[in-house]
Amino acid sequence: MRAQYNFWPGARGLDAWDVRRLIRLSSSLPVRMIPLADLAEIDDAYWYNFGEKPTVRSVAEHAKLISEVDPSYPIILATSGRVMDGMHRVARALLHDELEIVAVQFDVDPTPDFRDCRPEDLPYDDEYSISEDPGPPP
C-alpha cells in the first residue's frame, strides 16, 4: 500500500495521520453500519480543502480510485465522526445509491504522525503491506 495521509488543520499548519497506521490501530474496533447522510464531508470539498485545485485530471484520478475501491473494508471515523480514511468508498456508495456504509470509529483519536506540516513535505515513496507495518513513521 502506498503512503497516504489524512489531514486536519493544526496549530500552525496541517496535522497528518498515516492511513496505514490508522488501519492498523482501528483493526480491532467494532464494525457497524452508519448512514451516509451522517457524514458531513459528503457535501464538502474534502480532497480539495487544503490547497489542491479540482482539475479535470485530479477529478479523473479520484474517479479511477473510486472505481477500484474494495467496499468490504470499513471506513475509519474520528471520535467526532469525521472521515479519516475511506472517502473513495463513501463516493462509491453514493454513486450506487446506497444509504449506509460499513465503518469503524475511534473512541479516542490517535495522535497525528506529523504536526504542522505541508502535504508536499511528507514521504510518499515507501510502500509496504499493512501486515508489514512497522508503526508510525519517525
Structural domains of the chain in order of their starting residue, each with its CATH number:
5-123 (3.90.1530)
**Could you give the maximum distance between any two Cα atoms of the chain, in Å?**
41
Task: Give me the pLDDT at residue 73, please.
Answer: 95
54/47 Cα distance (integer angstroms): 8
Residue-level pLDDT, tens digit, the chain, 138 residues: 568 899 999 888 899 999 999 999 999 999 999 999 999 999 988 888 877 889 999 999 999 999 999 999 999 999 999 999 999 999 999 999 999 999 999 999 999 999 998 888 888 876 544 444 444 443
Cα-based distances in Å from 118 to 8, 12, 14, 48: 11, 10, 6, 14
DSSP three-state, residue 6: strand
Cell of 58: 485530479
What's residue 3's pLDDT? 81
What global pTM score does this model have? 0.86
Q: What is the CA radius of gyration of the chain?
A: 15
Give pLDDT, residue 36: 98
Q: Is 111 helix (H, G, I), strand (E, B) or coil?
A: coil
Q: What pLDDT is attached to residue 23?
A: 95
